[in-house]
Structure 1
Amino acid sequence: MNQLQIILIGIYTLCLLYMTLFSMVQLNLLKAYRKQKKNKKPLEPLQEEDHFPTVTIQLPIFNELYVVDRLLDNITKIDYPKDKLQIQVLDDSTDETVGQAKIKVEEYRKQGFDIVHVHRTNRQGYKAGALKEGMLTAKGEFIAIFDADFLPEPDFLKKSLPYFNHEKVGVVQTRWSHLNEDYSLLTKLQAFQLNVHFTVEQAGRCEAGHFLQFNGTAGIWRKTTIYDAGGWHSDTLTEDLDLSYRAQLNGWKINYIEDITCPSELPVEIYGYKSQQFRWMKGGAENTRKLLPVILKSNLPWKTKFYSAMHLMASSIFLIIFWVALLSVPVLYVMDDLNMKATFLGFCLLGTLSVLSVFYEANVVTCWEKQPLHKRIGNFLLLFPTFMAVSMGLSFHNSIAVIQGFRGRKSSFVRTPKFSIIKSTESFAKNTYVIQKIDWKTWVEVLFLGYFIFAIGLAISIEYYSFLMFHSLLMLGFGINFFYSMRHLNLKG
């Protein structure tokens, strides 16, 4: 065994150890999550005789031609005293959405709603800039924020506000549910992953006393918390994560309420989904660069520092996955050359079982609980390996985002287009906002598809099968990615 072979296998093993550590952190959150499920005590919604604080609802929108009417029709159905409610439509649009929103706002203003249309033409600071400008005229003691594709239930405010049950509770975040989960395999996989974040991860962190996050929408801020934390900053692509951590560093608490759900629309085409992933992954890395040094230098307990670091660096897991995938082919060749068995990598099974347990709890036990058991098990057996494959297939794309974030390379806030598509019979083919071309990253992903087809052929030819399942999942993941890229491109034509 020469030095280069030792270094290669060493780097590969270290990457796998980090992935296993990441999975064990998730398993620990699962333990906390199960504890809170036993201990949680739902609070009663506000009643007529209770005190109703003033609330400002902020609706940041940008070119939302297909959903802006639905959004405003829904928000004005919220059951709350009109004299205690202000609605701000924070509109940075550059298309017909502006006129459409103005008409709708005027319609509801005549019905007695305190509703305003704030249109900016410079889009400075993107969503963070719009929210910051809205704060200048916000009347509410509390600020509720909803993105254009979210449709809160009429009793949302009455159910959520009681959870500001302590003066240091600065945020109440609720769980996202999915209007179009069953639209396609792509939407099912997105819901499959988001269900984990909005059950095990968020509720587990809340129960364990770790830092968690406001998710940018479907939540309420205490206005004084926003000001105390320094207000909205636009120097990262995930301004919600940034403000959440700055608030918690100042001693504020985020209450995560799993039992209050807010329906939302998932991206139905691959380009919108990948642009969302890119923004989230890059924003996570940007916030790691910005906030992690502050956290490590703080007087927080070491446990809080550790879990905060793992949370902020969560997007980095794609960088590790990509390196593991890339190195696996030369590692395969080296291990065969040295007649090494892969049994020393058996610790990876612990990580896989941890991830499987987390996804099972979030989906089969929790979010799908109303479905027959046999259907839940069948869906899980289909979606779990497919999700693992697709996640691997996104590793190159998301790694580019993470690297850019760590390097401090700035880019514009590319919002996820919404189409108001719920039923599987509906099409987005003629939608104005659909992206019209494949970018260079997709063509590189095609090369990786060929790379892992080669890896499978190599394993068969040399009869070394330890990596066969892994390479098959990688081939499937990059293949699904390419399939949807071509299919949705053809729809544009």
Structure 2
Amino acid sequence: MLALQVLLITVYGLCLLLLLGFSLTQWQLTRLARRVYAAPVLPAPPAPAEWPLVTVQLPLYNEQFVVERLIDACAALDYPAGRLHVQVLDDSTDETVALAAARVRHHAARGLHITHERRPERTGFKAGALAHGLTCTAGELVAIFDADFLPEPDFLRRTVPHFFGPGSARTGVVQTRWGHLNEDYSLLTQLQAFGLNAHFFVEQVGRQAGGHFLNFNGTGGIWRRACIEDAGGWHADTLTEDLDLSYRAQLRGWHFHYLPQVAAPAELPITMDALKSQQFRWTKGAAETARKHLRQVWRSKQPLSTRLHATFHLLNSAVFLAILLMAVLSVPLVFVRALGAEQLRPVFYLAAFFLLALVPLTFYFRTAWQQAARQRPAPMGFGGQLLLFLAFSMGLSLHNSRAVMLGLLGRRSAFIRTPKLGMVAAGAGGWRGRRYRTSRLLGGLTVLEGLLAAYFLFGIGAGFYLHEYGLLPTHMLLATGYGLVFYYSLRHA
């Protein structure tokens, strides 16, 4: 019995140690980012003497609710006449095809170089579409926008010059920050914006300041065509073709430039199946990319700090495995604390020390929240938003852990798009008539999420009954998070 208790505590402690390591890397990136924000803003590079040929690629697959606004927004981009080519890469099988064709004809009649590319089959999903598009254009630079994005007219004028400034010959990507068209639509969108802001206001800024590997975020950025080709082109063997190509390019010596001051507004998923689809693709794809590139990263001549940051970057989705394992073990730990051997009690105080991992994470999210608040008023106070975000992230740990395990094991799965419904205004309603089903929300995984919510409620009750309150905050977060995920899964079914 004592051996089992020791094993349980050991595994729990190792999970906490992993979380602490992840938290400390975020703390260092936050320090680097804060130095950037405290420094004077550098002037933008001058416009190039001759603007290069730019191709704007719009990969589409069944986007009937947003395709027209996307094409119209890209047709309105301010760029010298004759130097812009808009490619609508349309693999759709529904009404999107006719809607896209009509908007392409409209803008072509007005003199815009815009083409509607249709492949005979959707080989390679998004990566295949982007690769196919390159064979049909001569653009030196390639901007990419997913269907839910609405770039501002001056997007190219503000980003293209960064490929031609001093020392920019090896700049392979210019990435911009994602804005949020519908952040205030619901609690679900507010929590997503909170998490994404941390990545774009802190993580990307810190990685750039520290000279570490960045990632192209799949959209809202521009590639130098020569960089894509030198790195081997788009591959479809992971669900995150953007992260995969980012690492191949940087291992080849290309540099990425991130512009937090330029925002590319986009629509956040408003339904749970859409969010889970996106989370599955991101977490599984990151694990697949780690499996593909981590060994090469450690064999490279990059500085040790860069290799360490790259490791946590590629394996950050594995944090969900640690969270899930800790969560499941935390309820038995209540009984071990109350009824276990007396000599084990000091170990719990040592384990509690690792809960200090929340301090660097609070610093990380607080910095992002402050920067985001400069752009627009925050929808709620920082403390409440942080606690709800942490709870919700914990609630997604079962779903995301499954994705991570599939990725690490090399199990292939289809590229499931994130449905975009064109719903921006808060309280607009009507989303039930705009459905793209991506999965069975009421499947076995959802039932398990509901059972886990009940399991952690039991942990809260056990803590009160046994007068063991050390894990009470954790169980309250877990019960809230799994309860929210289960509630939204039922509501959006």
- Give TM-score scaled by structure 2 length: 0.95
Indicate the larger mover: 347-356 or 142-151: 347-356
Alpha-carbon distance between aligned partners in 2 of 1:381 and 1:371, rounded to the nearest angstrom: 18
Aligned to 1:78: 77
Q: In the aligned structure 1, how far is the partner of 2:453 from the partner of 2:37?
A: 42
The one of 355, 359, 362 aligned to 1:353: 359
Say which of 473, 483, 486 aligns to 1:469.
Answer: 473
Give the stretch that moved more between structures: 23-32 or 349-358. 349-358
Alignment-derived partner of residue 148 in structure 2: 149
| Alpha-carbon offset, residue 161 of structure 1 | 1.1
* Partners of 1:227 and 1:325 in 2: CA distance: 44
Question: Matched residue of 2:179: which SS?
Answer: strand
Deviation at 1:450, TM superposition (A): 1.5
Structure 1 position 370, deviation (Å):
5.1
Q: 2:435 maps to what in 1?
A: 432
SS at match of 1:59: strand
Unaligned runs of 5+ in 2: none
Q: Does structure 2 conserve the Cα–Cα contact (< 8 Å) formed by 1:82 and 1:114?
A: no
Q: Output the CA distance in 2 between the equivalents of 1:63 and 1:319.
A: 33
The answer on whether the counterparts of 1:45 and 1:159 sit within 8 Å (CA) in structure 2 is: no
**What corresponds to 1:379 in structure 2?**
381
1:42/1:61 Cα in 2 relative to 1: closer, same or farther (>3 Å)?
farther
Q: 1:26 to 1:241 in 2, by over 3 A?
A: same
- Partner of residue 454 from structure 2, selected from 450, 453, 462: 450
Q: Distance in 2 between matches of 1:475 and 1:237?
A: 30
Q: Which residue identity does 1:39 align to in structure 2?
A: A
Determine helix, strand or coil for the equivalent of 2:433: coil
The corresponding residue for 1:202 is 204
What SS does the corresponding residue of 2:232 show, helix, strand or coil? coil
1:17 matched residue in structure 2:
17
1:368 is matched with 373
Matches within 5 A, 1:169-180: 169-180=171-182
Is the Cα contact below 8 Å between 1:82 and 1:112 reproduced in 2? Answer: no
Structure 1 stretches of 4+ moved >6 Å: none
Residue 4 of structure 1 and its aligned partner are, at CA, apart by 1.8
Deviates more, 1:137-146 or 1:61-70: 137-146
Matches within 5 A, 1:381-420: 381-420=383-422
User: Aligned partner of 2:411: which letter?
Assistant: R
SS of 2:196 mapped into structure 1 = helix
Asked whether 1:422 is paired with 2:411, we answer: no
2:90, 2:97 within 8 Å by CA — same for their partners in 1?
yes
Distance 1:370 1:411, change over 3 A: closer
Q: Return the offset for 1:40.
A: 5.7
Equivalent runs, 1:268-279 vs 2, <5 Å: 268-279=270-281
> Counterpart of 1:8?
8
Residue in 2 that maps onto 1:129: 128
Establish whether residue 236 from structure 1 lines up as the match of residue 235 from structure 2. no
Q: Kindly tell me the number of residue pairs found equivalent between the two proteins.
A: 484
Q: Does 1:118 align with 2:117?
A: yes
2: distance between equivalents of 1:444 and 1:265? 29
Distance 1:75 1:331 in 2: 55
**Are 2:305 and 1:303 aligned?**
yes
Task: Spell out, residue by residue over 1:131-164, the C-alpha distance to the aligned partner (whole angstroms, 9 max, x if none).
Answer: 0000102221100000011111111001001212
**1:382, distance to aligned residue in structure 2 (A):** 1.7
Q: CA deviation at 1:367?
A: 0.6
Deviation digits for residues 446-493 of structure 1, max 9, x if unmatched?
Answer: 11111111111111111111111100110000001111111112xxxx
**Structure 1 match to 2:88:** 89
Deviation at 1:345, TM superposition (A): 2.1
**Inter-CA distance 421–62: structure 2 relative to 1 (3 Å threshold):** same
Pair 1:426–1:322, CA change in 2 (3 A): same
- Return the alpha-carbon distance in structure 1 between the equivalents of residues 441 and 488 of structure 2: 13
Tell me the alpha carbon deviations over residues 77-98 of structure 1, each in whole angstroms, 9 at most, x when there is no partner. Answer: 1000120001100011011101
Question: Is 1:27–1:354's contact at 8 Å kept on the other side of the alignment?
Answer: yes
Q: Is the CA contact 1:181–1:266 (under 8 Å) kept in the aligned structure 2? A: yes
Q: Give the RMSD, CA atoms, in angstroms.
A: 1.5
Quote the residue 1:33 is aligned against: 33
Map 1:191-270 to 2 at 5 A.
191-270=193-272
Q: Which amino acid in 2 is paired with 1:439?
A: G
SS in structure 1 opposite 2:385?
Answer: helix
Q: Give the percent of matched residue pairs that are identical in Structure 1 and Structure 2.
A: 46
Q: Structure 1 residue 336: deviation in Å?
A: 1.6
Q: Which moved more, 1:331-340 or 1:471-480?
A: 331-340
CA distance, structure 2, for counterparts of residue 417 and residue 73 of structure 1: 20
Return 5+ residue gaps in structure 1 as ranges: none
Q: Deviations over 1:41-62 (max 9, x none)?
A: 4443765x84211100000010
Instruction: Give the AA of the match of 1:28.
Output: Q
Query: Partners of 2:223 and 2:55 in 1: how far apart?
Result: 10
Cα pair 1:394 1:481 within 8 Å, conserved:
yes
Kept after mapping to 2: 8 A contact 1:46/1:159? no
Cα offset for 1:121?
A: 3.4
> Is 1:481 the equivalent of 2:485?
yes
Amino acid at match of 1:248: Q
**CA distance in 2: counterparts of 1:400 and 1:172, whole angstroms:** 33
Separation in 1, partners of 2:169, 2:452: 52
1: CA distance between counterparts of 2:411 and 2:434? 31
